Chain A
Amino acid sequence: GIQVEQSPPDLILQEGANSTLRCNFSDSVNNLQWFHQNPWGQLINLFYIPSGTKQNGRLSATTVATERYSLLYISSSQTTDSGVYFCAGVSNFGNEKLTFGTGTRLTIIP
């Protein structure tokens, strides 16, 4: 199966700062998604982004499928952005199962 690497593993920022989270895939993927797990454990789907760029408020994501990576941008961070961010993808070579990275833990300090 595919391998999914996320970087950095941990990130601590002051409120108001911007951040970029990266996700690398070992092979071609489709159905690339970003999720946020808040401090209470709830997993929220942020983006479905197999290619191109999408924006939702202060969050945006870009996937360059040909180079097998995706970036999640968070601007003007707020304390509610804290938590763990996961990316996940499905191999282009079948099985239709999402493989998750191990996440980036983001902590926003007031």
Chain B
Amino acid sequence: DAGITQSPRHKVTETGTPVTLRCHQTENHRYMYWYRQDPGHGLRLIHYSYGVKDTDKGEVSDGYSVSRSKTEDFLLTLESATSSQTSVYFCAIRTGLAAPLDTQYFGPGTRLTVL
């Protein structure tokens, strides 16, 4: 499992409230990713990080921000949660930049419900 944990694992919140999801890794990987998974869409990239304080947007970044102040932690924040952000959120790490190490491993996921 590449030592990836996510917290919380489940959260129910109300529209308009801020929400922060945490991804923690224990193996010092440089690249970390946040995806959301919705029925019929597979996994879609929200944001990713290629180092401390280095982040970039994915394909569905609107309404989300991220921060990475330490190698081991990558935070995803919904500034003002909306019902369309109800989803399962997965964090992933990338083990290397060259074959055969360039693979992604996923955390257990966080199920977020916005009422």
Complex CA gap A43/B63 in Å reads: 25
Whether A48 pairs with B100 at a CB distance below 8 angstroms is: yes
Interface status of B69 (Cβ within 8 A of chain A): no
- A60 interfacial by beta-carbon distance below 8 Å: no
Task: Please count how many residues in chain B sit with their CB below 8 Å of the partner chain's CB atoms.
Answer: 21
| Cβ–Cβ contact B99 & A48, under 8 A | yes
Nearest chain A CB to B31 CB, angstrom units = 9
| Bound: A103/B44 CA distance, A | 12
B43 close to A41 (CB less than 8 A):
no
Given A43-B90, A97-B58, A103-B42: A48 in contact with B108 (beta carbons within 8 A) = no
B104 and A45 form a contact (CB under 8 A): yes
Contacting residues of chain B (90-106) with chain A, CB-CB under 8 angstroms: 90, 99-100, 102-106
Query: Considering only CB atoms and an 8 Å cut-off, how many residues of chain A contact the other chain?
Result: 19
With contacts A97-B59, A101-B42, A103-B42 known, what are 6 further pairs, Cβ within 8 A?
A: A31-B102, A43-B106, A43-B109, A86-B43, A97-B48, A102-B41
Chosen A-B contacts, 17 in total, with CB atoms closer than 8 Å, are A31-B99, A31-B102, A33-B103, A41-B88, A41-B108, A42-B109, A43-B109, A48-B99, A50-B99, A86-B42, A88-B43, A97-B48, A97-B59, A98-B104, A100-B42, A100-B44, A103-B42
Chain B residues in contact with chain A, CB under 8 A? Answer: 33, 40-45, 48, 58-59, 88, 90, 99-100, 102-106, 108-109
